[in-house]
């Protein structure tokens, strides 16, 4: 068993997701109002997104590089809602153990330094270490469901982590808010990114469509 997982994103019409640009076009609360309606008490973000919005600027540097070397997890504080960070090698440095009223939980690989995980434990931050050199996302989601009681989860970027969940077959829905604007700049991140060139396209089924001001909110079944 694993959580029911919804990828929730705001994108410009060309698929670009640069927050600085989307906020220039749509600066209301539509994105967060829609996220509330999805009824996902826990939210997951990739390392880059968490670095931008929540972690400290300076990375964590472990003087002792000895890795944890096996699958383990730690429940620091029992909760019904978690802010979940993907951090394969244990680089994000945290100023506190909760954000936006949610307890922080870090998912990393077994290649993560033990010192990093010891530091999280001292900060009362929950963590999961699974996957030898890269995170085993399906296994992490099963641990999240069984040991942390997470039943519904929103994945909110960036593009590479969205792509990783899609590739792993872990998405149940895509919730896309189409912002009435165009970026068009070369090389900017898109809602789903980082997949190999031979990855087959994913067909979706439209579940609902709603107009929120100039923004279109579309929900798709994967």
Given a cut of 80, whether residue 10 has pLDDT beyond it is: yes
The band of 22, judged by pLDDT with boundaries at 50, 70 and 90, is confident
Q: What pLDDT was estimated at residue 160?
A: 95
* pLDDT tens-digit readout, 166-203: 999 999 999 999 998 898 898 888 999 999 999 999 99
Given a cut of 80, whether residue 115 has pLDDT beyond it is: yes
| DSSP-assigned letter for residue 126 | E
Take residue 211 and report the two structure tokens written for it.
Answer: 């107009």
Q: How far is residue 40's CA from residue 50's CA, in Å, rounded to a whole number?
A: 18
User: How much is the average pLDDT of 204-211?
Assistant: 97
pTM, 2 dp:
0.94
Mean pLDDT of the chain: 94
Q: What pLDDT was estimated at residue 186?
A: 87
User: How much is the average pLDDT of 97-102?
Assistant: 95
* pLDDT tens-digit readout, 28-39: 788 999 999 999
Q: How far is CA 35 from CA 21, 110, 131, 152, in A?
A: 20, 32, 30, 12
Contact 2, 138 (CB under 8 A): yes
Q: How far is residue 41's CA from residue 102's CA, in Å, rounded to a whole number?
A: 9
Given a cut of 80, whether residue 27 has pLDDT beyond it is: no
Q: How far is residue 153's CA from residue 114's CA, in Å, rounded to a whole number?
A: 27
User: How much is the average pLDDT of 106-130?
Assistant: 98
Q: What pLDDT was estimated at residue 145?
A: 98
Q: What pLDDT was estimated at residue 56?
A: 95
In percent, the amount of the chain with pLDDT more than 90 equals: 85
The band of 25, judged by pLDDT with boundaries at 50, 70 and 90, is confident
Q: Which residue ranges form the domains of the chain, and what is each CATH number? A: 1-41+151-222 (3.40.430.10), 43-149 (no CATH)
Given a cut of 80, whether residue 26 has pLDDT beyond it is: no
Q: What pLDDT was estimated at residue 18?
A: 82
């Amino acid at each position: 068993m694993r959580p029911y997982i919804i990828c929730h994103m705001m994108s410009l019409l060309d698929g670009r997701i640069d927050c600085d640009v989307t906020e220039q076009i749509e600066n209301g609360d539509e994105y967060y109002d829609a996220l509330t309606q999805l009824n996902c008490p826990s939210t997951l973000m990739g390392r880059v997104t968490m670095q931008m919005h929540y972690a400290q600027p300076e990375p964590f540097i472990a003087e002792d590089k000895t890795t944890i070397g096996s699958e383990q997890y730690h429940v620091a504080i029992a909760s019904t809602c978690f802010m979940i960070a993907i951090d394969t090698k244990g680089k994000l440095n945290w100023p506190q153990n909760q954000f936006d009223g949610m307890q922080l939980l870090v998912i990393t690989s077994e290649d993560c330094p033990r010192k990093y995980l010891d530091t999280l434990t001292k900060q009362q931050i929950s963590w999961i270490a699974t996957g030898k050199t890269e995170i085993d996302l399906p296994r992490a989601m099963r641990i999240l469901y069984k040991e942390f009681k997470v039943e519904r989860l929103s994945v909110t970027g960036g593009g590479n982590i969205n792509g990783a969940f899609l590739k792993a077959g872990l998405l149940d829905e895509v919730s896309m808010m189409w912002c009435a604007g165009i970026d068009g700049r070369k090389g900017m991140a898109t809602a789903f990114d980082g997949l190999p060139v031979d990855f087959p396209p994913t067909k979706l089924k439209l579940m609902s469509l709603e107009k929120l001001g100039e923004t279109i909110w579309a929900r798709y079944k994967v």
